[in-house]
Amino acid sequence: MGAPGAEFAARFGAPATHGARAPGRVNLIGEHVDYEGYAVLPMAVALETWVCVRRAPAGAEAGVLVVANADGAQYPEVELPADPGARVDRERHSWANYFQAGYKGVFEHLRREGRPAPEPYGLQVMVRGRVPAGSGLSSSSALVVASAAAVAAVHGLEFSRQEIAEFTRVCEQHVGTMSGGMDQAISVMGEQGLAKLIEFGPVRASDVILPPGCAFVIANSLTVSKKAETAAGRYNLRVLECRLAAVLLAIALGTPPEEAAASVQVLKDVEAALGAAGKRVGDLLHDAPYSLVEVEGLLGASIEAVAGADFLPSVRAAAEFGGFKLRQRAEHVYSEAQRVLRFRDLCNSSASSSAASGETLAALGKMMDESHASCSVQYECSSPELEELTGLARELGALGARLTGAGWGGCMVALVKEGDVGPYIQALKDRFFQKRVASGELDASDLDSVVFATGPCPGASWGRMTTAGALES
């Protein structure tokens, strides 16, 4: 299903003039490492979000953004200020916050670059999302990227893909999650038939050729992972734990606390010093959770002073959970970052053969299993349903299976031999999904959208729309 052109015309009485589509993604390996400066390895998927837009005619809507959704029953229409300086109301958790974040991002980017910004005006907007929300396939970034690209198009602004990837990473944080840049980058830089190694600082993408003869099967655990709503005790807490681990590692390696707090932002910043000292994380950080008092004693300052007031809700959440698990989080990040590069090397070195050897596929699958175990045990971002699903995936013959995306629910991705895909998906339906159909949790007609195989798809596109409701080529 393409652009919501008919819905736009029905709601606003005229066709949209500009639009954008942006895909969701599945991350094949490299979880919770992007915000620590390390590369990830995702591919864009066929599920996408559309944003169609037109300048509001003079009159009541001239100064506002009227943001409607083709699925109005689930996502009610919202009016937002056209002022790009208006704050995103994080507490409201509206779906339209993601549109507003993308909208603000365009203007903020121009300001940062010192480029002239257009005078803001009212917009009529219609959104249609096909990336299931909270599934770990990055519905949020698909909406932010499509919104930013459509807003750029209607204002006649030209941005490169790299620029969009860079500024949508920053602006999505308006919604309240301190996320890294993987989802936005692959949504803009994805390519048909290719997975991508995405690196940061600055963001860039290089090709990863997936081994012939294998397929990736995505299955939804059906537990919705509400990243923004649960950020304080989950996602943002992990970002904070990594930051604290990085600073405490630098201090343990001899950097004075004040200097460490100022110069060390992410775990990547201390990797070289760790290596040079011949130390491992476990030599310098203890296993038991760190209390607030202990961390602040080592820092010689409050966590707020070091990490910023945005993390205060996460500090409170950590106290409830019994402290910060710094050693475990750092060990996950360093080991996962290495797996990503090994995975990429193995994929690219098997690209010239007509079918990857059983040994190669087994090695890739093993890395995916190790990644999942590290996410589950060290990073604690799995869920009982994801454990059941990945366990079943392996039992049914997958070469490897892991949670994908932020975790705490959402989807898993499994590596399967191409010839086995049909029976494999059927077996997953029989063993995991049928009982959920029987209990009423899942509608039988949705079975094919909760478990499916996919290859890499193209990234976002945007521009003028034809009156027939398609993007002009």
- Using CB under 6 A, list all residues that contact ligand GLA: 27, 31-32, 34-35, 138, 179-180, 182-183, 405-406
d(CA 78, CA 232): 25
**Residue 144 burial by Cβ neighbours in a 10 Å radius (0-12, 13-18, 19+):** buried
In the three-class reduction of DSSP (H, G, I as helix; E, B as strand; rest coil), residue 141 is classed as helix
Q: Considering 89, 183, 269, 443, which one is annotated as catalytic?
A: 183
| 369 part of the active site | no
Minimum Å gap between C-beta 81 and ligand GLA is 26
Minimum Å gap between C-beta 132 and ligand GLA is 14
Minimum Å gap between C-beta 342 and ligand GLA is 17
* Nearer to ligand GLA among residue 34 and residue 241 (C-beta): 34
**Residue 365 burial by Cβ neighbours in a 10 Å radius (0-12, 13-18, 19+):** buried
Compute the half-sphere exposure of residue 241: CA atoms within 13 Å on the CB side of its CA.
Answer: 33
Token pair listed for 111: 């300001």
Instruction: Write down the residue that tokens 């942006």 correspond to.
Output: 22
Distant-in-sequence contacts of 245-248, Cβ < 8 A, 24+ apart:
245/281, 245/285, 245/326, 245/327, 245/329, 245/330, 246/36, 246/270, 246/330, 247/299, 247/306, 248/284, 248/285, 248/290, 248/295, 248/298, 248/299, 248/326
Residue by residue, DSSP assigns 42-74 as: EEEEEEEEEEEEEEPPSSTTTTEEEEEESSTTT
Token pair listed for 429: 């339906």
Minimum Å gap between C-beta 240 and ligand GLA is 14
* Nearer to ligand GLA among residue 364 and residue 381 (C-beta): 381
* Nearer to ligand GLA among residue 27 and residue 94 (C-beta): 27
Minimum Å gap between C-beta 29 and ligand GLA is 10
* Nearer to ligand GLA among residue 19 and residue 23 (C-beta): 23
d(CA 253, CA 314): 26
* Nearer to ligand GLA among residue 27 and residue 49 (C-beta): 27
In the three-class reduction of DSSP (H, G, I as helix; E, B as strand; rest coil), residue 180 is classed as coil
Beta-carbon count within 10 A of 35 CB: 22
* Nearer to ligand GLA among residue 168 and residue 360 (C-beta): 168
Minimum Å gap between C-beta 297 and ligand GLA is 30
Residues 20 and 149: beta-carbon distance below 8 Å: yes
The residues annotated with a catalytic role in the active site are: 183
